[in-house]
Amino acid sequence: MRDNTVQVDESVSPARIDYAPTFNVAVPFIDRHLGDGRADKVAIRTTDGDVTYGELAERVNRAGNLLTSMGVGAGERVMMIVKDCPDFFYVFWGAIKAGIVPVPINTLLRATDYQFMIDDSACAAVIYSPEYAAEVEPALAAASHRPGHTLLTEGAENSVRTWMADQPATLDPVPSTPTSDCFWLYSSGSTGRPKGTVHSQRDMVETSHHYGCATLGVTADDICFSAAKLFFAYGLGNAMTFPLWVGATAVLSDRRPDPAMTFEVIEAFRPTLYFGVPTLYAAQLQALETATPDMSSVRACVSAGEALPADVFRRWQERTELTIFDGIGSTEALHIFVSNRAGDVNPGTSGRVVAGYDAEVRGEDGQVVPAGESGRLFIRGASTATRYWNNQERTAQTMVDGWLDTGDTYIQDEEGYFIYCGRSDDMLKVGGIWCSPFEIEGRLIEHPAVLEAAIVGREDDEGLTKPEAYIVLNDPAAAGPELEADLMEHCKAGLARYKYPRWFQFVDALPKTATGKIQRFRLRSN
């Protein structure tokens, strides 16, 4: 095989993917399209204009050359706090082509989160959109590690867009191998502390073929719109790697994903595939009571991030005549590994295993449990991360003999469908994003009225999980609606906006073990 090439043998099931020994994944995802005659085809669409595959390849090269000219070396990290826009593509793929490791970060976080990640990653550069300066710049000032370079994507003389223009339009791919480090994504995981999840060069190929092509059926004729953002592993596939792998078109919006935004984008850009999360589908259903958007271009919808309630599935299908394919994936696996699909949809389940992956439900003894019994879900596939950065203990706990411990409790029924039962720990998933109860509790305790706090998950009227707060007050007489409103605003001011508690329960004491640990399972049973 020639350098940087991939061969997919579909005569076997699952398809076998072979890689050249020298392999830089930017070549098949970016450069290949020029040789395939797609230079003039639109790769990215936004309200600010279109980007063709030819323009994309040139700008990726310029971005890679910019990073190299700044002195960022092969294997060093570039932290990206970048909105959904073409610049994300340029920096991400330019870094990979130049042998540099891009690290896209959740853009909804706070300065303390960014400070930790800057220190943990020891990144050589930080690139961020101007919208996030109020959180990023204090993080840079407070971090112990000093990145060599900080750049805005736009809007300043010291910006990627300005400096790229002076860079060469050609760039030779830095030699790598299919299993070499390629990019990171930070996962909060079950401990609540962010973990750098290290992915290899081949991982995006694996998810793009096994889920994007073989399961979802993405083709070059598709237009993909993901309300889930690019910093998600889920959104990274939906809005970038899946369309780029087949030569399709991605629609990007840097706006907050609410019903009005999604309907507006769907009407304006006419996507054929729409990717959301259950919380958003529920909100869209509420909006559809009065709104009548034209969604006739959409052939299929996808949901992940948390389990999709069967009632939301049914109401969406009744209202739009569209089917939602629900599935489960993870940052560690990069995308969906168990899914419903065309012709095989079972509402209220996560579907069946995606070809190219293996899944087992194991009991406490580590053995596979019989069908119908609950246990911990383990999965195996070629897209799973190699390790957590600087965290050997969590790596050993989560990545076991080639298998990935998902931390989710599941039942596999007699027909092979996987049924979600909840997390195997205390983490919450709100709007498809992991939340640590400890972080929310810490914010609550900062309020002068609060003595102790505990956070658990509670289902709202749509069957979706949101944080519920149990609070012991310094002065029990202070309890009431006014304090609840004050606590809610206190949390919103100090946490990412999706993390604030939706309900408050004022109690005399929290249930604890003999050693003082809060027993959240007892609160969840209330």
- What is the edge-to-edge ordering of all strands in the sheet holding 450-459? 450-459, 465-473, 503-506
pLDDT in tens, 28-66: 999 999 999 999 999 999 999 999 999 999 999 999 999
Q: Where are the domains of the chain?
A: 26-175, 223-423, 436-524
Residues 265/294, Cβ–Cβ less than 8 Å: no
Q: In terms of C-beta density within 10 A (0-12 exposed, 13-18 middle, 19 or more buried), how is residue 276 classed?
A: buried
Tell me which amino acid residue 491 is.
Answer: C
In this predicted structure, the answer to whether residue 410 has a pLDDT above a threshold of 60 is: yes
pLDDT in tens, 348-384: 999 999 999 999 999 989 999 999 998 999 999 999 9
Secondary structure (DSSP) of 9-56: ETTSSSPEEEE-SS--THIIIIIHHHHTT-TTSEEEEETTEEEEHHHH
CA distance linking residue 420 with residue 329, whole number of Å: 12
Those residues whose C-beta lies under 8 Å from the C-beta of residue 441, and which sit 6 or more positions away, are: 453, 454, 455
Residue 97: phi, psi to the nearest 5? -65, -30
Give the mean model confidence (pLDDT) for residues 501-520.
78
CA distance linking residue 358 with residue 278, whole number of Å: 25
In this predicted structure, the answer to whether residue 87 has a pLDDT above a threshold of 80 is: yes
Secondary structure (DSSP) of 300-351: EEEE-SSPPPHHHHHHHHHHHS--EEEEEE-TTT-SEEEE-BTTB--TTS-B
Q: Is residue 14 reached through a cis peptide bond, with omega within 30 degrees of 0 on the bond before it?
A: yes
In this predicted structure, the answer to whether residue 492 has a pLDDT above a threshold of 80 is: yes
The pLDDT value given to residue 191: 43
The pLDDT value given to residue 192: 55
Question: CA dist 71 to 38, 67, 170, 298, 435, Å?
Answer: 32, 7, 18, 45, 36
Lowest mean per-residue pLDDT among 237-246, 360-369, 385-394, 445-454:
445-454
In this predicted structure, the answer to whether residue 93 has a pLDDT above a threshold of 70 is: yes
> DSSP code of 192?
S
Q: In terms of C-beta density within 10 A (0-12 exposed, 13-18 middle, 19 or more buried), how is residue 329 classed?
A: buried
Superfamily of chain region 26-175: ANL, N-terminal domain (3.40.50.12780)
Query: Which tokens in the block code for residue 222?
Result: 């598709």
Secondary structure (DSSP) of 238-287: IIIIHHHHHT-EEE---S---HHHHHHHHHHH--SEEEE-HHHHHHHHHH
List alpha helices for 426-515, DSSP H.
437-445, 481-494
Query: Which tokens in the block code for residue 312?
Result: 């939301």
Residue 45: phi, psi to the nearest 5? -125, 135
In this predicted structure, the answer to whether residue 11 has a pLDDT above a threshold of 70 is: yes
Residues 29/244, Cβ–Cβ less than 8 Å: yes
Query: Is the model more confident about 323 or about 461?
Result: 323
Give the mean model confidence (pLDDT) for residues 263-279.
96
Residue among 137, 73, 135 at smallest CA distance from 110? 135
In this predicted structure, the answer to whether residue 426 has a pLDDT above a threshold of 60 is: yes
Give the mean model confidence (pLDDT) for residues 286-311.
92
Give the mean model confidence (pLDDT) for residues 258-279.
96
The pLDDT value given to residue 59: 98
Those residues whose C-beta lies under 8 Å from the C-beta of residue 66, and which sit 6 or more positions away, are: 94, 160, 163, 164, 167
pLDDT category of residue 441 using cuts at 50, 70 and 90: confident
Q: Do 436-524 and 223-423 have the same topology in CATH?
A: no
In this predicted structure, the answer to whether residue 435 has a pLDDT above a threshold of 50 is: yes
CA distance linking residue 448 with residue 475, whole number of Å: 10
Rounded to 10°, the helix 278-287/310-320 angle is 40
In this predicted structure, the answer to whether residue 190 has a pLDDT above a threshold of 60 is: no
The pLDDT value given to residue 517: 56
Query: Is the model more confident about 437 or about 268?
Result: 268
Residue 525: phi, psi to the nearest 5? -85, -5
Computed on alpha carbons and rounded to an integer, the radius of gyration of the chain in Å comes to 23
In this predicted structure, the answer to whether residue 145 has a pLDDT above a threshold of 70 is: yes
> Is CATH 3.40.630.30 the right assignment for the domain spanning 223-423?
no
CA distance linking residue 420 with residue 330, whole number of Å: 14
Longest distance between any two alpha carbons in the chain, whole Å: 75
Helix (H) or strand (E) holding 91: helix 86-97
pLDDT category of residue 514 using cuts at 50, 70 and 90: very low
pLDDT category of residue 71 using cuts at 50, 70 and 90: very high
Residues 349/365, Cβ–Cβ less than 8 Å: no
Q: In terms of C-beta density within 10 A (0-12 exposed, 13-18 middle, 19 or more buried), how is residue 224 classed?
A: buried
pLDDT category of residue 515 using cuts at 50, 70 and 90: very low
In this predicted structure, the answer to whether residue 513 has a pLDDT above a threshold of 80 is: no
The pLDDT value given to residue 188: 63
CATH architecture of 436-524: 2-Layer Sandwich (3.30)
Rounded to 10°, the helix 111-121/133-142 angle is 50
